[in-house]
Structure 1
Amino acid sequence: MNGDWLLRGRDGRLSVYLPSGESVLCRAEQGPGGPWEAAPRTVGGDQKLRPGLAIGQGGDGYAHLVSWRPTKPGEAGLVHSTHFRPRLAALDWTPIGHPDKTGDRTGTPAVAVDAQGRAHVFVRNKGGGVSMVAQKEKGGWDPWRDLKGSDVQEDLAAVTGESGCVELYAAVPGGVLYWRQEKPGAQPALTEALETPVRPGTLRALPTSPEHTTLFYTDDSGDLCAWRPGGKPLALLASAGPGPVSAVRCELDGHDCTLLAQRSSSGRVAFAAYPTEQESAGAWWAESGPGLPVDAGVSLTTDENGRVVAATLSPSSGQLLLTRRKNEPGLALEAWRGL
């Protein structure tokens, strides 16, 4: 999955999205703070989907999901669904086309939602660049747009800044490309190319101030780095494991902090926190919970009371675990429990 899959809806309920074979499932709290539904529900109807789900959430709390579906032998197209409330049924999957009009799957999509609630879908095209399609303000979709770029790797990191403008990061051999909107509704423009030895599959972007979003990625030496466009990347700490981190801004003991989580090489979840945009303050990993399968991912959010919630999901085993920060100083967590 590309994007946060543990979300808090506008009604305060938490929900998780789970790929399952050729479909996507959703499971939600019955009320803020639990308990959870006994069984997950299928999202978007009975259409068969291909691997590679992208999830984004707007300021209105609505979840936007994008995936590939087979259209005919050797070809596929992208589909989109909106989920307004965790306990309600999501809209049926709606076709939104293909970046090259026709063809097979070209890469895992990414989705960000602007301040007006419009989904922006990004995906690599067959030429190795990036294409985008965006919702119109009054319904429907704009035409596909070619945002240029070359040699783009499969993983993309889309994010909406606090300004409401959509931004995109993409890994390329020896670097990262960065696109941003100059104003809401404008076409994102390729504005910066960073030379850095980035490992594909490790990008994660987070809004960290009114002026900036921060990109987290792992470099070839194994360091987890933080970069804000216009500046230089900083090595924050050694990566705990091989995959991307999950990141969330939260208040810890009265301070605006960025919390990172990652499945560590030991198999447990590692957490690290530091004052937001103050990477020079340093950060240290602390592990928590049981050992997890190698394909387990981690996602972070905050509940309606601002408490950090973390979940892990293993697609191969279906194991879903959750923990929540205790109501006490520091980052003490409750015992992990299965859902």
Structure 2
Amino acid sequence: MNGDWLMRGRDGRLSVYQLSGATVLCRAERGPGGPWTDPRTVGGDQKLHPVLAVGQGADGYAHLVSWRPTTKGESGLVHSTHFRPRLAALDWNPIGHPDKKGDRTGQPAVAVDARGRAHVFVRNTDGGVSLLAQKEKGGWEPWRDLKGREVQDGLAAVTGESGRIDLYATAPGAVLYWRQEEPGAQPVLQEALETGVRPGTLHALATSPDSTTVFYTDDAGDLRAWRPGSKPATLLPSAGPGPVTAVRCDLGGHDCTLLAQRSAGGRVAFAAYPTELESAGAWWTESGPQLPVDALVSLAVDEDDRLVAATLSPSTGQLLLSGRKDEPGLALEAWRSV
């Protein structure tokens, strides 16, 4: 999955999106802190490939994008909007293919601008990135080629506090950065950071009114943070092989960035530091039980601004949750199965 699959909806309830065979399932809180609904199919009975991208706008609506099989050897992208976690999502709507037709070209990513318009990014067969953006009054703009060369899978799209969208991607020996200069404008390739980077480890986060930060693991296994226009900062050794997830939250009255990652030992590792102050340093603290090797990790803040962490194993469907205790520091409650 691409994006934050644990999120707070418009009604304040937390929800979780998960892949299950050829479908996408959603579970949601019935009330603050639970209990949770049983898994429900999202988007109707359309059969999908096992891939999902999730994005959310300031309005709280979730936008989901996946690939579906069309004819033999070919696929097309589909989109659904979920307005409230406990209501049914819209049916999957076909939105086309970056090359007009063909098989899957890569894992999509989706971000939503300040006006609630979804922007879908995906690799194309020329090795660059293509964009499909919603119109403000319904429908979709034509596909746009954002260029780029040798782009690898694992795009990271993020909406800044300004409402404009940034896109990050990896290429051999580089992290590429596209910026949307004005709302609704086509993002433009602005910068290519020459760096060793492991594909599939990007995660982007809005960290100030004018900046977004992308986290990635370099060739040496270190977790690094980069804001375009500056040099990347080394935070600490990566806890495990996969990408981190990140969220901003209040810790002791300070705006902090909290990172989480499945550690090499199989538990969830957490690290926090003052937002955009990487020089303050960070260190990992592990929590919870040992998880399956395919376990995913996601973070969110609930309607009471309380930190919530979740892990999900696609192979078993096991969902575990933990929340921050009402005490100083980053103490977490016991992990519970939902």
5 Å matches for 1:283-298?
283-298=282-297
Q: How far did 1:33 drift? A: 2.0
Rounded to whole Å, the distance in 1 between the matches of 2:51 and 2:75 is 12
2: distance between equivalents of 1:188 and 1:51?
Answer: 28
Provide, for residues 104-154 of structure 1, a one-character-per-residue CA deviation record: whole Å limited to 9, x for no partner.
Answer: 000000000000000000000011100000000000000000000010001
Counterpart of 2:233, as a letter, is L
Provide the C-alpha distance between the structure 1 equivalents of 2:132 and 2:179, rounded to a whole number of angstroms.
Answer: 14
Q: How does 1:188-337 map to 2 (within 5 A)?
A: 188-337=187-336
C-alpha displacement at 1:299, in angstroms?
0.2
Looking at structure 2, the residues matched to 317 and 174 of structure 1 have their Cα atoms a distance apart, in angstroms, of 36
Do 2:20 and 2:50's aligned partners in 1 also have CA atoms closer than 8 Å? no
Q: Which residue of 2 aligns with 1:34?
A: 34
Unmatched tracts of structure 1, length 5 or more = none
User: Cα RMSD over matched residues?
Assistant: 0.5
Native 8 Å contact 2:58 2:116 kept in 1: yes
- Note if contact 2:245-2:259 (Cα within 8 Å) is conserved in structure 1: yes
Name the SS of the counterpart of 2:279 in structure 1. Answer: helix
Specify the alignment match of 1:7 in structure 2.
Answer: 7
Match of 1:84 in 2: 83
Q: Are residues 1:170 and 2:157 paired?
A: no
Aligned residue for 2:16?
Answer: 16
| Structure 1 letter corresponding to 2:15 | S
Structure 1 position 265, deviation (Å): 0.3
Q: Equivalents in 2 of 1:125, 1:266: separation in Å?
A: 36
One-letter code aligned to 2:3: G
Matched residues in 2 for 1:242 and 1:202: separation?
8
Query: Do the aligned residues in 1 keep the contact of 2:23 with 2:50 (CA within 8 Å)?
Result: no
Shift of 1:223: 0.2
2:183 aligned partner: 184
Give the residue type in structure 2 aligned to 1:36. W
Supply the AA of the counterpart residue of 2:264: S
TM-score (norm 2): 1.00
Q: Which residue of 2 aligns with 1:115?
A: 114
- Residue identity matched to 1:325: R
Q: Quick one: distance in 1 between partners of 2:172 and 2:294?
A: 25
SS in 2 for 1:68: strand
Show the counterpart of 1:97.
Answer: 96
Aligned length: 338
Shift of 1:288: 0.2
- 1:204-238 CA-partner distances (Å, limit 9, x unpaired): 00000001000000000000000000001011000
Task: After TM superposition, give the deviation of residue 13 of structure 1 in Å.
Answer: 0.3
**1:145 equivalent in alignment to 2:144:** yes
**Aligned partner letter, 1:230:** G
- Which stretch of the first structure deviates more once superposed, 306-315 or 28-37? 28-37
Contact 2:98-2:130 within 8 A present in 1 as well: yes
Q: For 1:280, what is the secondary structure of its paired residue?
A: helix
CA apart distance, 1:326: 0.7
Cα distance per residue 1:285-328 (max 9 Å; x no partner):
00000000111010000011111000000111111100000111
Q: Which amino acid aligns with 1:324?
A: G
SS in 1 for 2:70: strand
SS in 2 for 1:12: coil
How many percent of aligned residue pairs carry the same amino acid? 80
After superposition, the C-alpha distances for 1:56-113 in whole angstroms (9 at most, x for unaligned) are 0000000000000000000000000000000000000000100000000000000000
Q: CA deviation at 1:177?
A: 0.7
Residue 27 of structure 1 aligns to which amino acid in structure 2? R
Equivalent position amino acid for 1:84 in 2: F
AA matched with 1:54: A
Secondary structure of the 1:72 match is: coil
- SS of residue paired to 1:229: coil
Judge conservation of contact 2:109–2:122 (CA < 8 Å) in 1: yes
Structure-2 residue corresponding to 1:52 = 51
In 2, Cα distance between equivalents of 1:320 and 1:35: 13
C-alpha separation in 2, matches of 1:30 and 1:46: 24
Structure 1 residue 32: Cα displacement: 2.2
